[in-house]
Amino acid sequence: MSAASVHQGVVRLAGQVAREPNLDATAQTVAILETIDSLLEEAGSNKHLILFAQIFLADMADFPAMNVAWDAWVSRSDPPPRATVEGKLAVPGCTVEVVVTAAALD
């Protein structure tokens, strides 16, 4: 499976989870967002060019903890649209998964 693809100026990332599961939701989100920063950079983009984010939580009770990390990371001047839903995640111990679509730099 590919972590990212770029087609016609659009970067699509696969769902990203923390490499070290069993951390709290804030720590998992911080780790995921660091990975997203790296993947976007490799693909010729950055967090300021995110078009849409999808966040999956194993338990919606983790929503405030996830938002602590998200709010510290996201562009305050131009936050992307985002959907957050609860669902069973494929990796045991992971409580957060983030999928991002972004524009590539010209």
Domain boundaries, the chain: 4-103
> What is the reported pLDDT for 1?
79
Question: Does 92 have pLDDT greater than 80?
Answer: yes
Picking from 41, 101, 28, the residue whose alpha carbon sits closest to that of residue 67 is 28
The alpha carbon of 90 is separated from its chain's Cα centroid by a whole number of angstroms, namely 16
Question: Does 25 have pLDDT greater than 80?
Answer: yes
CATH topology of domain 4-103: 60s Ribosomal Protein L30; Chain: A; (3.30.1330)
> What is the reported pLDDT for 34?
98
